[in-house]
Amino acid sequence: MHETLGLLLSSIFDPSSPQARKIVGLDYGFIAAASLVLLLVVGLTLFITIRYRFKKDDTEPNQITGNRRLEILMVGIPLLLVIGFFFWSLNTMSAILPEHGNHKPDVIITGHQWWWQATYPGTSINTANEIHLPVGKKILMQLEAADVIHDWWVPSLGGKMDMIPGMHNFLWVTIDKPGIYEGACSEFCGQQHAWMRIRVIAQTPADYKKWLREHELNATKPTDTLAKLGAALFMNASCSECHSIRGTNANGMQGPDLTHFGSRQTMLAGMMDNTTKNIDKWLTDPQKVKPGAHMPRFIFGADSVHALAAYLKQLK
């Protein structure tokens, strides 16, 4: 179940943050208590059904109707257990999710049907789907919804939090080690809810700073002919009405920002790897790849598709 640093199996039992670790502690405590209770019930059931099964020379059993003392015990013991766990969980709750007060968020993540938008206050960065964060720092994420309710969940980093239109929600996280942490949207948000995967790329503070610097820059200008053709197509076809590429005329707000699209490892919110072949497939017929996605089908010829893909691939 334990994987290497590269692609961590995002299980709740593989905590990679103090928040997740605190929850695991509570998990184990609960599992211990619950197992005891289950063992008791199973044990009693087996014992009673075997010991008191009907035997041929059985007489009518004693007709006991109750026992006040036993009943009080049966209420009292669970009550004590419950009170204990209540205070433990209260303690864990306030440790994981204290009030955010006036603290400014380090990243604002907005859920869209069916992709993630991330902006970093204090910078002009507006990126999509792959969320870069620094390790070792207690980060405040602000969670917003652009359309319907979504939910942010990366199991190894801690609990989840809904993104609800009209509400501002917050989540604290401190990531232990650099690596890739996977998660998924966890509130049914429509047709492609299944393909709204989360990819958190945690970096050392130095790497993170470097990433921030690179991503503040405007988009690279294409140098080879095919990419140049793609760029021209992008601006002339309706791409720029929904997508933005900083440093060009494209400033649409409907779809993901594509300024540094080429630097992303995956596309379509974790649905497939970011390869030229996959971009080709997507541009040819989005509805065939991710049916229901809000990108309409443009009838591009194969040449146009290749050009656009070349342009997008070099937007590093």
Partner 1 sequence: METIQVPEPEESIPSLSVSDNQGLLQWISSVDHKQIGIMYLWLSVLFLLIGGGEILLIRIQLAVPNNHFLDPEMYNQLFTMHGTTMIFFVAMPAIFGFSTYFVPLMIGANDMAFPRLNAFSFWCTFFGGLLLYFSFLAGGAPDAGWFNYAPLNQYNYSSSPGIDYYCAGLLFAGVGTVSASANFVVTILKYRIKSMGLKQMPLFVWMLLINSFLILAAFPSLNAALVMLLFDRQMHAHFFSAQGGGSAILWQHLFWLFGHPEVYIVILPVFGIFSEVFPVYSRKPIFGYAFIIGSGIAIALLAFGVWVHHMFATGLGNTVNSFFAASSMLIGIPTGVKIFNWLATMHGGSIRFRVSMMFAIAFLIEFTIGGLTGISFTLVPIDWQLTDTYYVVAHLHFVFIGGTLFGLFSGLFYWFPKMSGRDLDEKLSRWFFWLFVTGFNLTFLVQHALGAMGMPRRVYTYPDVPGWGVLNLISTSGGFVMGISTVLLLSIILKALRTGAQAEGDPWDANTLEWTTSSPPALQNFDQVIPVKSTRPFRDYKRPDDADWKERDSHGK
- Minimum Å gap between C-beta 35 and partner 1 is 9
* Binding residues for partner 1 restricted to 237-296, rule: CB under 8 A: 270, 291-292
Q: Pick the stretch among 51-59, 102-110, 277-285, 305-313 that binds partner 1 (CB under 8 A).
A: 51-59
Helix (H, G, I), strand (E, B) or coil at 309: helix
Q: Which is nearer to partner 1, 49 or 223 (CB)?
A: 49
Which residue in 96, 200, 227, 295 binds partner 1 (CB under 8 A)?
A: 96
Core vs surface per residue 254-269: b (16+ CB within 10 A) or e: ebbbbbbbbebebbbb
Q: Is 189 in the site for partner 1 (CB under 8 A)?
A: yes
Which amino acid is residue 112, in one-letter code?
A: H
Q: Is 180 in the site for partner 1 (CB under 8 A)?
A: no
Taking the CA atoms of residue 220, residue 221, residue 227 and residue 232 in that order, the dihedral angle to the nearest 10 degrees is: 120
Which residue in 6, 58, 69, 299 binds partner 1 (CB under 8 A)?
A: 58
Q: Alpha helix (H) ranges present in 97-224?
A: 205-216
Which residue in 116, 153, 172, 282 binds partner 1 (CB under 8 A)?
A: 153
Q: Pick the stretch among 122-130, 184-192, 218-226, 303-311 that binds partner 1 (CB under 8 A).
A: 184-192
Q: Is 144 in the site for partner 1 (CB under 8 A)?
A: no
Which residue in 108, 136, 140, 149 binds partner 1 (CB under 8 A)?
A: 149
Other Cβ atoms less than 10 A from the Cβ of 22: the count is 18
Q: Is 162 in the site for partner 1 (CB under 8 A)?
A: yes
Q: Give yes or no for a contact between 268 and 259, defined as CB atoms under 8 angstroms apart.
A: no
Q: Is 66 in the site for partner 1 (CB under 8 A)?
A: yes
Q: Is 167 in the site for partner 1 (CB under 8 A)?
A: yes
Q: Is 108 in the site for partner 1 (CB under 8 A)?
A: no
- Minimum Å gap between C-beta 253 and partner 1 is 16
C-alpha–C-alpha distance, residues 38 and 45, integer Å: 10
| Cα distances (angstroms) measured from residue 304 to each of 134, 222, 262 | 38, 15, 18
Q: Is 37 in the site for partner 1 (CB under 8 A)?
A: yes
Q: Is 82 in the site for partner 1 (CB under 8 A)?
A: yes
Which amino acid is residue 311, in one-letter code?
A: Y
- Minimum Å gap between C-beta 208 and partner 1 is 25
Instruction: Indicate the pairing of strand 272-273 with strand 266-267.
Output: antiparallel
Q: Which is nearer to partner 1, 110 or 314 (CB)?
A: 110
C-alpha–C-alpha distance, residues 293 and 281, integer Å: 14
Q: Is 53 in the site for partner 1 (CB under 8 A)?
A: yes
Backbone phi, then psi, for 150, in 5-degree steps?
A: -120, 180
Q: Is 135 in the site for partner 1 (CB under 8 A)?
A: no
Q: Is 110 in the site for partner 1 (CB under 8 A)?
A: no
C-alpha–C-alpha distance, residues 244 and 214, integer Å: 17
Q: If 0-12 CB within 10 Å is exposed, 13-18 middle and 19+ buried, where does residue 299 land?
A: exposed
